[in-house]
Each structure stands twice: as C-alpha cells, then as structure tokens.
Amino acid sequence: MTHTSAPNPAAMPQDAMVVAREELLDLAPDDALARLHAWFAERGEPTYRAAQVFARLWLKPVATFDEMTEIPARLRAALHEHFSIRSLALSAQQLSKDGTEKFLFRLDDGQLIETVAIPEDDRLTLCISSQAGCALQCRFCATGAMGFQRNLRPSEIAGQVRQLRMLSPARMATNIVFMGMGEPMMNWSAVDVTLSLLNDARALGIGARHITISTVGVLPGIVALGERPEQFRLAISIHAPTDALRGSLMPVNVKYPLSEVIAAAATFDRRVTFEYVLLGGVNDQIEHASQLAALARECRAFVNLIPLHPGGSMGFHPSPASTSAAFARLLRARGVETAVRRSRGLDISAACGQLRTERLGRRLPVAPDDHGEVDEA
C-alpha cells in the first residue's frame, strides 16, 4: 500500500486540521462490523444499527450515508462526520457490439483504472484492476507500457464491483477475474481484504470458485493464496514455455524463474490455469506447444489460449486462426485440457490499459521499490 509521511499539524492552516474520516469500505467484513458495533455502542444506540449500515455498504450499496433512510437523520449526519464510503467516479463507458462493456473510473487522486464486464449466457464476468498501472513491463501488455503509479485500496478494488451494482440497470457480477490492470500478488494486503469482501455472504457474496486471481508467478502471493481456506481459483500467466523466451517477454522471469513457478503450481492445492497469450511467430510454434504441454502435465494445469488483442498489442501480432487451432490440437493430443478464449470487445478499447492511456496519456511511472509500494505477502 502507499506509504506517505504524516503531515505536520503545526505547519497546517487551522481550518485544514480536520480529523480524517475512516473509510469503511477498506475494512474486511468482520472488522467493519466490529467498528460499527463499537461506534453505535459508544452512543448508546442499539447494536442492530451496525448491521443496517453494513448491509448498505455492499449488499444494497448506496453512494452516501444520506441514502440510508432506514437510519435516523441525526445518526446519518454523525456517521458522515466520522466515516466515509468511497465512490468511484465513472469517467467513461464503452459498449461493444458483442455486449462487452468497458468502464473507466477516476479515483480521488486523479488516477484512472479500468473494469471490463463480459456477459456470457447467464454469467457476467467482471475483469477488475488491482493497481493503477503495472511495474512488470511485460512486452506485449499495454498496462505494463504505462508504468506503475500506485496500489489500489480494497475500497477501490472491490469498489469496482460495488460501483457497477449501483448503475441503472445494475451489473451484478457472477464471476470475478483479477486480470485487469496490475499484478494482484504485488498488492497482496489489499487483495487479501478484497477477497473477503467479494466472497463474504454479508458483503458481495460471490462464490470463491467463481473468483480467479491471475499472477505472473509472484511466489509469495501464490503461497498466501493457498493458505486461505476458500476455494479461490489461481491462474498463472505463462506466455512462454522456456526461461529464455519467457525472460525476453516478461522481465519478472528473472526473479521468479519458470521452474519455480511450475513447482509452486504443482503444490497449490487446487487446480491451476495457465494463461497463454498467442503471439504470432513468437510463442505459437509446434515446439512451443510441446514444451507447454510438458509443463501443464507436470502440475495438472488447464491451459487457456488467449488471442492477442490487437488494440494493445505493443508491436506484436495475433497468431493466425489456423496456427492457434493447431497449437490447441497438439496440447489436447498430449492429454492437456485446453480452451481457446474468444476475443471480446474488439470494436472498443478493450485491451487492458488502452482506454486509460487514451484519456491520461503516458504518465511518468513511479518506482515501486523506492516508494514502498511492492507488497507481496
């Protein structure tokens, strides 16, 4: 999480010395309820008020305390003085002809983050962001090209799901994938809280098996996720079947080599998915498919083959359909369960980071190590 030095009260104007309000949406469900119970008890109010307020944070979300009309006006005013409930400002919205929607949210400090809603039959999958920008600089990724700005808070990660529930009509997610902007395992403390908010029946109530965390292979995060009791899904961005090729595409491979990533996947107590973006002429040849099949069999992984989105291709080209089909056939012939993901939102800026870059331009990146931003587990 972002670390900043505390302001000097003596140097602040008198009217600026206001006690910061506590952000309820940054708290895990048990912590938020405990805080509200204590607050109401201090005022001699009945404890059921805490459950009433909490229900309006996530289950039936509202933008302000004033909208909690079941709470007396005097208590709504007092809540506003002591607490905040952060809303994300919708800056842009795009609708694809295939039904995919992309949302650009502006945060309090002017940063922009993206969320994509993907309908499929009776499901609605939200692809959510965990960081503003990304420090990993994968060569084929538009988010990596913009550089890292900062980690998101739980209120800004789970808040994307909350905000879409408050739209008219509401977008009610059935599935969540952490495949938007950023590397979730490098913002673990916030993602850890967010997983509880997403899954808890008192909050957003999405089943753990319908929540997937995607990582390039940040090993401490994989271990931390495996230690949670819920059946959250793990996806690992492989994108190349050898260290030499993967290192040329993904600089993080130096810190977390492919062998160590595969070993972590093999010990994870749930089935793992390999994400593999097919780059024309780069990682889509028959020998690459054979090597990938061997890795997948080693840890019983499911392989998701992903067509490169041309909008954020960073100079790379999608593999031809015939090449992708041959790649998938070889994996299946080697006993590896494989799916070829269908490209969505091709007529809008649906490549991750593309819409943000269009609106903000390329801001100078922040060095995460210098600013205490990397928070693995």
Active site residues: 114, 352
Q: Supply the DSSP symbol for 170.
A: -
* Helix/strand/coil for 309: coil
213: Cβ–Cβ under 8 A, 6 or more apart, which residues?
A: 178, 184, 185, 191, 195, 221, 225, 232, 233, 234, 235
* Helix/strand/coil for 169: coil
With vertex at residue 36, the alpha carbon angle to CA 35 and CA 39, rounded to the nearest 5 degrees, is 90
d(CA 211, CA 94): 24
- 233 with 270: CB under 8 angstroms? yes
Tokens 């709470």 correspond to 71
- Strands 233-237 and 211-215, sheet pairing: parallel
The rounded radius of gyration (Å) of the Cα atoms in the chain is 22
From the list 215, 274, 270, 268, the residue with the least C-alpha distance to 240 is: 274
d(CA 272, CA 256): 17
- 300 with 292: CB under 8 angstroms? no
- 368 with 374: CB under 8 angstroms? yes
d(CA 146, CA 182): 11
Three state DSSP letters for 110-165: CCEEEEEEEEECCEEEEECCCEEECCCCCCCCHHHHHCEEEECCHHHHHHHHHHHH
> At residue 20, what is the residue type?
A
- How far from 166 is each of 23, 27, 130, 161, CA to CA, in Å? 18, 20, 20, 9
